[in-house]
Structure 1
């Protein structure tokens, strides 16, 4: 028995279909298509940007395997048609050039020194700024910001005179100390944000469970700061590995050069530039950076993300 009131129109599937057809498809059905088009568009744009950034690296590697006559010839070679290792032989073993292996050793030594020292000092400094309250704390933080604003080129003469007075020219220790002074303010400021992101309540809870304060820090807080240390260490590594100006004025002897200064010797005022050897030298300088990134890329990504999220 039907309970519908008199005169009411029964709702059927045909009536619903007709109403839907009259009003058109609901907007919810059109949104997935728009999102798909937008995703494809952003994907294509990302590929174009990636290709624009990757092409100079590809061109450097490709040119390093081309013979000299093909590099300077009128034809464009997007791929090494006649690959050769002569450019690498020239860059590494040519006797009249500055030696490559001593420059590599100097760069590795100074980079390792700066990386270790900056991580230890920046970690202790950031920990003191975030976990302790002391007189002059705000002034210290302000001084860190002020030091970062001063360009290194403005202090070249002063740094040179100071190192020369200490009789430390052409030494890895002097260059490492100069690099450390330039890297440390930024690393302290960056690590301070990571330490702030770890709640102090975690240490307090561990201390309630019976841990001492140092043990609570090393067992609870330090593992959470490891990604931040890696992300900050990447900056310290790149700064020490790629720095050119200070190394140029402090390491004046050929056997004391770092790799960026060694790479400059490929261009001479009285001779034509050997672009093949120059590209081979550039590849050799870039290989340690690529290896370092491959080793720490997972931790580096986690550190960059965790530094933006406060627990």
Structure 2
């Protein structure tokens, strides 16, 4: 009577003691490749990030070191004994402040006008059906494919006939025309991704079409507007070739043109690489500040849109 119970009792612990290591080995074999893969991907990402950040770090490091140290054959990886003397020399040049104002004005006009025109065009393409809609979309795509260098002569003659050479308005018009097509495509995707049923439901609740758009659809488009604004700002801020053709007067030069002239002035004597790196850093600082300011708003807009959707 008691003998089967003894066997069952003896078999029970034996089964547990034999299956537990097997399950442990299986679980380890199942999770180990995934952990190794994540580790390898993390290492690769860190290496890529180091290669990407190093030129920026080298620019900042060189801007704090004197020219005597930079001319040595042995590079100095840390700004030991550095100072802000190079930045003071660059800021002492009055043309920097003038060119900074021109760049800010041109970039501001380009961003506002590009967002306004591209937003209205993207809204019309995505929400309305009208004659010539497909042709308009194809025209936008075709204009985006045209090389900018092939239109320099035509742009120069056009601005010259309108007496807009060496003027902020003239170069802003060219920047707007160059950035608007791609901005339309960016915003078109954001507008098409928001269902029109949301507006219709709000109109059923008593809102007009304009109120439904402003209260429901427009807040969800904030991430797209911010992303398009960042793109337009970067294009207008960093553009060099169009400004070189249209802005030949030193009083209306943007920061990229000022930086070229600053390097040429340094080349007339011994090139002070510390001052050149300091000038390059000052040109990049407004872009970094603008992106850091907008990044938080872009993230909050994405989260808000996900919650409202």
- The alignment's TM-score, normalised by the length of structure 1, stands at 0.89
* In 2, Cα distance between equivalents of 1:265 and 1:164: 24
Does the 8 Å contact 2:222/2:298 carry over to 1? Answer: no
Aligned to 1:279: 277
Superimposed CA distance per residue, residues 95-125 of structure 1 (whole angstroms, 9 cap, x where no aligned partner): 7xxx101100000000000000111111100
Aligned to 2:257: 261
Aligned to 2:65: 66
The structure richer in helix per residue is 2
Superimposed CA distance per residue, residues 66-113 of structure 1 (whole angstroms, 9 cap, x where no aligned partner): 111111122211112221222112222147xxx101100000000000
Does the 8 Å contact 2:220/2:301 carry over to 1? Answer: no
The aligned length equals: 302
Does the 8 Å contact 1:266/1:274 carry over to 2? Answer: no
Superimposed CA distance per residue, residues 134-178 of structure 1 (whole angstroms, 9 cap, x where no aligned partner): 011001111111111111111111111111111111111001000
Aligned to 2:12: 12
Give the gaps of 5 or more residues in structure 2. none
Does the 8 Å contact 1:231/1:303 carry over to 2? Answer: no
Deviates most, 165-174 or 34-43: 34-43
Go from structure 1 to structure 2 and tell me whether the alpha carbon gap of 1:126 and 1:24 turns closer, same or farther (over 3 Å shift).
closer
Q: 1:117-128 maps to which residues of 2 (within 5 A)?
A: 117-128=113-124
Aligned to 2:172: 176
* In 2, Cα distance between equivalents of 1:187 and 1:306: 22
Shift of 1:24: 7.5
Aligned to 2:239: 243
Shift of 1:232: 0.9
Q: 1:156-305 maps to which residues of 2 (within 5 A)?
A: 156-268=152-264, 270-301=268-299
* Pairing partner for 2:103 from 76, 101, 107: 107
Does the 8 Å contact 1:231/1:300 carry over to 2? Answer: yes
Query: What do you get for the CA RMSD once the two structures are aligned?
Result: 2.5
Superimposed CA distance per residue, residues 241-268 of structure 1 (whole angstroms, 9 cap, x where no aligned partner): 0000001111111111100111111333
Shift of 1:31: 2.3
* In 2, Cα distance between equivalents of 1:237 and 1:196: 24
Give the gaps of 5 or more residues in structure 1. none
Aligned to 2:74: 75
Go from structure 1 to structure 2 and tell me whether the alpha carbon gap of 1:183 and 1:303 turns closer, same or farther (over 3 Å shift).
farther
Go from structure 1 to structure 2 and tell me whether the alpha carbon gap of 1:58 and 1:257 turns closer, same or farther (over 3 Å shift).
same
Does the 8 Å contact 2:87/2:278 carry over to 1? Answer: yes
